[in-house]
Amino acid sequence: MENAELAGLGAAVLLAGLLARAGRRWSLPAVPCYMLVGILLGPGTPGPVLVDHPDDVSLVAALGLVLLLFHLGVEFPVDQVLGGGRRLFAAAACSISLNVCAGLLLGLALGWGGAEALVIAGALGISSSAIVTKSLIELHRLTNAETPVILGIIVLEDLFLAFYLAALSPVLADASSPAELAEKVGVSFGFLVLLFAVARFGARAVAALIGSREDELLAVLTVGLTVAVAGVSQDVGVSDAIGALMIGLVISRTEVRERVQRLVTPLRDVFAAVFFVAFGLTIDVSALGPVAVPVAAAVCVTLVANVGAGLITARLFGFNQRAAANIGLTVLGRGEFSLILATLALTAGLDERLGPFVALYVLVLAVLSPLAATHSRYLARVLPDWLLRPGWRYVREETISTSCTHLDQIKVTETGVRECPECVVRGDDWVELRLCVTCGHVGCCDDSPHHHASRHAARTGHPIIQSLQPGEDWRWCFPDETLVRAPMSADR
């Protein structure tokens, strides 16, 4: 890299950081800010140009891609995914299927080619983990009942990305015959299986290879191993991104995981910023106009698919309209993974319109997603009851909270009692029954004349009651005055 290009890249990254810092005031994610600086100061836009030849910074940008996927693998919460239950896997499968199929149909309708349609399907199908997580934090929804489900879905989307990249690599390699395509697919998935096996059985050996008491040596050994595995992946016909993700998954199974995560995070952030800026440098602003209509269609398709996925997820978990709207609009953002797929496609020589298309698509959704999530209550107001669980009785604009601090006192969740014993003794009637989940006491609700359930809670200090009405499984915490859902992994 020439000195002029090095200075230009440094200035571009500095300006990108300043713009991202300014964007925090309007709750804008950093990724579109980085891209925008690259677009505005690249050779494809009239005005000042900081980097005349984007190809000269491709190696540095590749390191950003590798570290981004590696860190994703290190952070991958295997136990959370396995403990998510059947409903979580079903919800994630519905979300991925709706978005990927909608993207594939749109890609085919655009007529840019079969390989291009697969890239568009992936770009439309994977949410941005960074944008989703940032939205949840800034909207103060970390204690909402639907939040663990949202996080579980984006984690499973990340896992799907690994397989999708492995399947897409042979297509991008442009096999000349079905037999060659089958061979390349076999090699890709074989390499994937090999890395999964290393993660399962070879984590201790990997830890011994890179382990060091000195942070400096641990960082050097880790980055060296990651880049080497990514390069080998590329050499065998699998993308460097998938190799980096899988070696991150291997290290996530070792005892040095937390130290590696702490040491690599700053490197990931810096080089990822370079990657996004470098992607923006490759975009010709004059090419954005011709893809404006396809991008508008893609945004509409993504919005409809995500709202549909939110409704299905809410029905699976028994959530109301507000939670359904929160799910669908929070996962709307697209970012780093869409850009990764576009970069791989352009490197493989696919249609040049993919770059401007994905860039504009990501920019639009990066702005639209936080705004839509903030105002999800307006969507909740128009969602009819019949789309969700029959018999829902709570206000559609209130999402159920999981902020109850007494979940450790849940010991009894079932009973054969179907009457209020105290009302029976008195010879009185009751309206509905409630179960004390601490001791199993059954009492009548507060709409009944004697309020035996709440009186029992006040007398004993047992905090949580559960509805015994058919078709209802909600719980109420008296001290925290909040509705409580069952744990996400508790499948019915």
Per-residue pLDDT reduced to its tens digit, 195-242: 778 877 888 888 899 989 899 999 999 999 999 988 888 777 667 777
Residues contacting residue 24 through CB under 8 Å, at least 6 positions apart: none
Task: Kindly give the residue spans of alpha helices, DSSP state H, lying in 239-375.
Answer: 240-251, 257-281, 292-317, 321-330, 336-347, 354-374
Residue-level pLDDT at 425: 93
Q: Are 13 and 274 in contact (CB under 8 A)?
A: yes
Q: What's the token pair of residue 15? A: 């300006």
Q: What are phi and psi of 202, to 5 degrees?
A: -110, 15
The predicted structure's pLDDT at residue 138: 64
From the number of C-beta atoms within 10 Å of its C-beta (0-12, 13-18, 19+), residue 331 rates as buried
Instruction: Report the C-alpha gap between 326 and 148 in whole angstroms.
Output: 12
Tokens of 391: 């018999």
Q: pLDDT at position 489, please?
A: 43
* CA nearest neighbour of 39 among 18, 62, 15, 60: 15
pLDDT at 488: 44
The CA distance from 48 to 41, in Å, is 6
Name the pTM for this structure: 0.65
- Whole-angstrom distance between the N-terminal and C-terminal Cα of the chain? 59
Domains (ranges, CATH) in the chain?
A: 3-385 (1.20.1530.20), 407-484 (3.30.40.10)
Instruction: Judge contact between 43 and 283, C-beta under 8 A.
Output: no
Single-letter amino acid, residue 41:
L
Give the pLDDT score at 455. Answer: 93
Below-50 pLDDT ranges, the chain: 391-398, 400-402, 487-492
By CB atoms closer than 10 A (0-12, 13-18, 19+), residue 238 is: buried
Question: What is the spatial distance between Cα 243 and Cα 228, in angstroms, rounded to a whole number?
Answer: 9
Residue-wise DSSP of 418-456: -S-HHHHHHT---S-EEEETTT--EEE-TTSSS-HHHHH
Contact 72, 312 (CB under 8 A): no
What is the chain's Cα-based Rg?
A: 26
pLDDT score at 399: 52
The partner residues of 435 in beta bridges, in order of sequence, read 442, 466
Residue 139 CB partners (closer than 8 Å, separation 6+):
373, 374
What is the predicted pLDDT for the residue at 174? 63
